[in-house]
Amino acid sequence: MARKAIYLRQDDEALTLVELALVRSDRLTATARAMLHTVRAGLFARAGRHPEACDEIARADAFFAERDTSTAPPWLCYYDDAEHAGSAGKALIPVALATGDPSPSAERLVTAIHSHTETYPRSRVFS
């Protein structure tokens, strides 16, 4: 639902939905937490809350490093190394534009482009 709100440019609604999902994050897998924190980072970045966006990406990276693919729910099987790099890279684009330093965003996007398999050509294109 948060992604739909983002698509509709209803960022406040999207942030509310992401934060609602994180209320009981102890019940989520590390993969799910990483994905949610990356979405939250993108919303913070779009709102000009760049330090918070960077903190969220660091949090997402930490959760992603703890992931156990055997416990990931089937609907989250797409969230692999390439997807995480691409999602984080896209989330950091507003920070790159504001600071004039594209490196953190660009490096992640290049990683995503090179890491996406033939199974996810659409994700490669978006990255």
Domain boundaries, the chain: 2-126
Confidence of residue 121 (pLDDT cuts 50, 70, 90): confident
Task: Give helix then strand counts, H and E, for the chain.
Answer: 8, 0
Q: Which class in CATH covers the domain with range 2-126?
A: mainly alpha
Is the pLDDT assigned to residue 117 strictly greater than 90? no
pLDDT tens track for 99-111: 999 999 999 999 9
pLDDT tens track for 54-78: 999 999 999 999 999 888 888 898 8
Is the pLDDT assigned to residue 49 strictly greater than 90? yes
pLDDT tens track for 22-31: 999 999 999 9
